[in-house]
Amino acid sequence: MVPPTAEKKPSVNADEGSVFSTVKNLWPYMWPADRPDLKTRVMLAIGALLLSKVATTLIPFAYKGVIDSLDGAQPDKQLILGLAVPIALVIAYVLGNVIDAGFQQLRDVLFASVGQNAVRKLALQTFHHMHKLSLRFHLQRRTGGLSRVIERGTKGIEAVVRFAMLNIAPTIVEFIIVGVIFVWLFGISYLGVLVVMIWAYLYFTIKASNWRIAIRRDMNDSDTDANGKAIDSLLNFETVKYFANEKMEAARFDKAMARYERSAVRIWTSLGFLNFGQALIFYSGFLIISIMSIRGVMDGTLTLGDFVLLNTFLMQIYRPLNFIGFVYRELRQGLTDIEEMFKLLDQDPEIQDKPTAKPLTVTGPVIRFEDVTFHYDPDRAILKGVSFEVPAGKTVAIVGPTGAGKSTISRLLFRFYDVTGGRITIDGQDLRDVTQESLRSAIGMVPQDTVLFNDTIGYNIQYGRPGASTEEVKEAARMAQVGDFITRLPKGYETPVGERGLKLSGGEKQRVAIARTILKSPSILILDEATSALDTKTERDIQQALDEVSRNRTTVVIAHRLSTVVNADEILVLRDGLVAERGNHTSLLAQDGLYAQMWSRQREATEAEEKLAQTKDDPDGFVTRGTPAWQ
């Protein structure tokens, strides 16, 4: 089934005009419904912030009092008792600043848990969602770029949550308080200049920040591209070495980083323009109000302390004003960073459980494919009406040329995709009517390309059934014929296997995969070309382990090498998406059809391989078994 191509609008968008709607969508992370303790912290943090704003508002009055008390021209200076009043006012000024700083730090301490919980919650949600997305999505993704998107997004969410909750509303409250003081003490004309200055400052900040969004997106894209290329190159380290293409890989990475460099330079240049414009607007307003207050002092309507009070208020306004500009920039930048991550969260999984889905009930199990059709692309059919049954405890092998649709059958059984026609059942239950978790818990898989986690051998075996005891892990390893090998290692089961298991040979990795599946103890077993990448001797050794695993289990074997399926209860020969032949090994050879041709070709290839190996062992043509000819 191909997902719809219509692109829906992401729930988090950094475009102009969407900030408030985006913050609304992020509200559950800021005000977690299931965490009353965090809600209490949010309220306490806001309370601490408001108290700091009160202290900030009172500080300039203490500063004005100090100036007026020291002004020799003040008419009521005879009321001043020596140095007591100015010293007391200086102490009040210092205490006000200390209280302001203390409450701001208390705000940050209280809110730290809220911000980090939001990061954790969103990161976990994204992680879960990534595992819910379809195989089609993961086959198209670039791991390095995806990890970068998630990394930036989780950092962006903390910035958005913190700034939206703790800075915007309290700063607006501070502006209102200062506006009231300006009207009360100095008149409406001062307020008019202040309002025009703030409006011009914010208008310029918003417009310039919106302009910078496109630059930020380009920088994020180039960063994602560069990281994707780096991870891809390192994951394919051996391939790079095989072809001596280190310089080409470095050139590709440098090209991506050059694009990032250009975008980063543009970001810093635009930031310089934004900061300069903000400073120009603010200090223009500062100049006008200063000239007005100087005239007031000169004509006696204002004291020297009033002049200082005005300038102190302006400088205190500049901090939150500059900060609200910074907050807006950070909000826009944070929204841009999390935009791509929320696009991932907005993607609906292609395969979803029905609301009425029930856990799979295994009684046999019996697998049935009933007239199954499937395509990855509507223009190219893969399966064209395939029907067969795998009886309980029996083994059915599926063979055929490359591209016949063999591996697609295993993907449909795991429900990585849904059939486009017909149905697949296990014990009469349509796979689309049962939960994916219960379905996949009942199936064990030994794939051709075994990829291990970058952990220990023991961890990788235990992955088949987390929580299994050490004895159970060792028994699974013994049954997979890998136990003796592990015990001979210096660190035994604690031996690291390296990235993707590259420290182990192909045969060793395959045995670990078999042990993992044995530990899972599934009712259904799928062997998807489990030995096709191995040499003949290793294949024969591992085949014994596979025979042991599949005994008394309903087994589907997808095979390239026909020698691995000669004992199957039934063999299906696929060709062009259809079952061309079916029967056991003997009957298929008797039909002298496609299977017989494939068998003949592979037998010739195997004999040639063994002869070549024998020649390498005995280059002089001596007899290698029994008594040497020259004795």
Residue-wise pLDDT for 569-592, tens only, equals 999 999 888 999 999 999 999 998
Bigger pLDDT: 337 or 466? 466
CA distances in angstroms from 334 to 122, 158, 273, 527, listed in the order given:
14, 8, 20, 46
> What's the token pair of residue 314?
């302006």
Give the three-class secondary structure for 359. coil
Residue whose C-alpha is closest to residue 186's, from 70, 282, 311: 311
Domain spans of the chain, in order of start: 19-346, 367-442+522-617, 452-512
Q: pLDDT value at position 18?
A: 52
CB-based contacts of 281, cutoff 8 Å, min separation 6: 197, 200, 201, 204
> What's the token pair of residue 367?
């697998």
Q: In which band, very low, low, confident or very high, does the pLDDT at 110 lie, cut at 50, 70 and 90?
A: confident
Q: pLDDT value at position 213?
A: 72
The single-letter DSSP state of residue 12 is S
pLDDT above 70: residue 290: yes
pLDDT, averaged across the chain = 78
CA distances in angstroms from 430 to 136, 335, 472, listed in the order given:
22, 43, 33
Task: Report pTM.
Answer: 0.62
Where do the H-state alpha helices sit in 556-631? 585-591, 594-617
- Phi/psi of residue 490, each to 5°? -55, -40
CA distances in angstroms from 138 to 61, 349, 438, listed in the order given:
63, 11, 22
CA distances in angstroms from 486 to 215, 384, 474, 478, 505, listed in the order given:
54, 45, 9, 10, 13
Bigger pLDDT: 463 or 149? 463
From CA 415, how far away is CA 372, in angstroms rounded? Answer: 13
- Phi/psi of residue 628, each to 5°? -55, 145
From CA 248, how far away is CA 254, in angstroms rounded? Answer: 10
Residue 460 CA to its chain's centroid (Å): 23
Residues 529 and 559 sit within 8 Å (Cβ to Cβ): yes
Q: In which band, very low, low, confident or very high, does the pLDDT at 610 lie, cut at 50, 70 and 90?
A: low
19-346: what CATH class? mainly alpha
The single-letter DSSP state of residue 446 is E
Q: pLDDT value at position 583?
A: 92
pLDDT above 90: residue 429: yes
Per-residue burial over 585-600, b if 16 or more Cβ lie within 10 Å, else e, is beebbeeeebbeebbe
Beta-bridge partners for 137 = none
Q: In which band, very low, low, confident or very high, does the pLDDT at 434 lie, cut at 50, 70 and 90?
A: very high
Which range (91-95, 322-326, 392-396, 558-562) has the least confidence?
322-326
From CA 31, how far away is CA 44, in angstroms rounded? Answer: 13
Kindly report, residue by residue over 445-502, the tens digit of the pLDDT: 888 777 788 888 899 899 888 888 999 999 888 888 888 889 998 889 998 887 767 7
Strands of 570-575's sheet in order across:
443-446, 524-528, 554-558, 395-399, 570-575, 578-583
Which range scores top for mean pLDDT: 186-190, 421-425, 499-503, 564-568?
421-425
The single-letter DSSP state of residue 434 is B
What is the average pLDDT across 389-416? 88
From CA 568, how far away is CA 113, in angstroms rounded? Answer: 59
From CA 564, how far away is CA 585, in angstroms rounded? Answer: 11
Which architecture does CATH list for 367-442+522-617?
3-Layer(aba) Sandwich (3.40)
pLDDT above 50: residue 49: yes
Q: pLDDT value at position 170?
A: 66
From CA 117, how far away is CA 108, in angstroms rounded? Answer: 14
Bigger pLDDT: 279 or 70? 279
Per-residue burial over 233-254, b if 16 or more Cβ lie within 10 Å, else e, is beeeeeebeeeeeeeebeebbe
Bigger pLDDT: 515 or 26? 515
